[in-house]
Chains A and B, each alone.
Chain A
Amino acid sequence: MISQVFILSSKGDHLIYKDYRGEAGSDVINIFYEKVTALTGDQPPVVMSHKDLHFIHVRQEGLYWVATTTAADSSPFTIIEFLNRLTALVKDYCGSLSEKSVQMNFALIYELLDEIVDYGYIQTTSSDVLKNFIQTEAVSARPFSLFDLSNVGLFGAETQQSKVAPSSAATRPIQSSREGGKSEIFVDVIERMSVVIGSNGVLMKADVEGEIRVKCYMPSCSEMRIGLNEEFSIGKSQLRGYGAAVRVDECSFHQAVRLDEFDSHRILRLCPSQGEQTVMQYQLSDDLPSAPPFRLFPTIERDTGGRLLMYLKLRCDLPPKSAAINVCATIPVPKGSVSLSQELSSPDQSAELKLQSRAVHWMIPRFPGGTQLSALFKLEVPGLSSASMLEVGPVGLSFELPKLTVTGLQIRFLRLSPIQPGPSQRWVRYVTHSDSYTIRI
Chain B
Amino acid sequence: MPYLGSEDTVRELRRALSNPNVQSDHLRYRNTILKVIRAMSQGVDVSGLFSEMVKACATVDIVQKKLVYVFLCSYATLNPELSLLVYGFKALCVCHIRLKESDVWGQCEMLRILQRYRPQSEDELFDILSLLDGSLVSPHPQVMAATLSLFLSLCSSLPAVSLAALERVRGPLLAACGSVSREMRFTAICHIQLLLRSVPGLMGAHYKRFFCGYAEPAYIKQRKMQVLVELVNDENVAMLLDELKGYCTDVNSDTAQAAISAIGRIGRSHSDRCLEILTGLLALKQEHITSAVVQTMCDLVWVCPQYSNTVCSALEGCEETLQDSQGRQALLWLLGVYGEQVSGAPYTLEVFIDGVRSEASLGVKMELLTTTMRLFVCRPAETQDMLGRLLHYCIEEETDMCVHDQALLYYHLLHCGIEETRKVLQGRRSDPSLGVLIGRPAEPISQWACSFNTLEPLKQCSIETESASRGSPEHLTCDPKSNPDLSDTINCSRVEKVHSGAEQMEVEKDYVCLKEWVLSTAVPHCSTQSLQAAMQLVNIQTLAFTPPHTLPWRVYLYTHTQHEHSGDTPHSTLILGELLYTGEASQRTVQPRDDKALKGFLSILTTVLYTLSSEKN
Contact = CB atoms under 8 A, between A and B. Distances in A.
A205 B208 contact: yes
Interface in B403-459: 453-459
Contact of A129 (B60, B218, B249, B568): B60
Interface in B120-159: 137-142, 144-146, 149
A80 B208 contact: no
29 contacts: A40-B254, A42-B219, A42-B255, A46-B186, A46-B219, A47-B459, A51-B568, A58-B183, A69-B455, A73-B454, A73-B455, A74-B454, A75-B145, A77-B184, A77-B453, A81-B142, A84-B183, A84-B184, A121-B105, A121-B109, A123-B66, A196-B208, A209-B175, A252-B175, A335-B286, A390-B283, A390-B284, A438-B246, A440-B242
Contact of A45 (B108, B109, B219): B219
Given A75-B145, A128-B60, A209 B178 contact: yes
B453 A43 contact: no
Most chain B C-beta atoms within 10 Å of own C-beta, residue among A42, A330, A335: A42
Contacts of A40: 254
Contacts of B285: 385, 387
Given A47-B459, A250-B175, A286-B208, A41 B186 contact: no
Most chain B C-beta atoms within 10 Å of own C-beta, residue among A41, A209, A358: A41
Contacts of A192: 178, 180
Given A128-B60, A194-B178, A44 B458 contact: yes
Q: Is the interface of A mostly helix, strand, loop or mixed?
A: mixed
B460 A394 contact: no
Nearest to B174: A283
Contacts of B108: 75, 78, 122
Interface string B488-503: 0000000000000000
B70 to A, nearest CB: 9
Interface in A186-207: 192, 194, 196, 198, 204-205, 207
Most chain B C-beta atoms within 10 Å of own C-beta, residue among A128, A390, A438: A390
B186 A281 contact: no
Contacts of B146: 75, 77-78
Contact of B284 (A49, A125, A204, A388): A388
A127 interface: no
Interface in A161-208: 192, 194, 196, 198, 204-205, 207
Interface of A: 40-47, 49-51, 54, 56-59, 69, 72-78, 80-84, 115, 118, 121-126, 128-129, 132-133, 192, 194, 196, 198, 204-205, 207, 209, 250, 252-255, 281, 283, 285-286, 330, 332, 335, 357-359, 385-388, 390-391, 393-394, 396, 398, 435-436, 438, 440
A387 B215 contact: no
B136 to A, nearest CB: 12
Given A47-B459, A81-B184, A41 B252 contact: yes
B504 interface: no
B69 A121 contact: yes
Contacts of A396: 214-215
Contacts of B455: 47, 54, 56, 69, 72-74, 76
A277 to B, nearest CB: 12
Given A124-B103, A394-B246, A359 B208 contact: no
Given A76-B458, A78-B146, A198-B242, A436 B187 contact: no
Contacts of B211: 194, 196, 205, 436, 438
B82 interface: no
A437 to B, nearest CB: 8
B283 A118 contact: no
A8 B213 CA distance: 27
A122 B106 CA distance: 8
Nearest to B107: A255
Contacts of A69: 455
B473 to A, nearest CB: 23
B214 A438 contact: yes
Nearest to A398: B215
B251 A359 contact: yes
Q: Which 6 A-B residue pairings sit nearest by Cβ, starting from the closest?
A: A436-B213, A387-B283, A252-B139, A42-B254, A396-B214, A44-B219
Contacts of A44: 186, 219, 223, 458-460
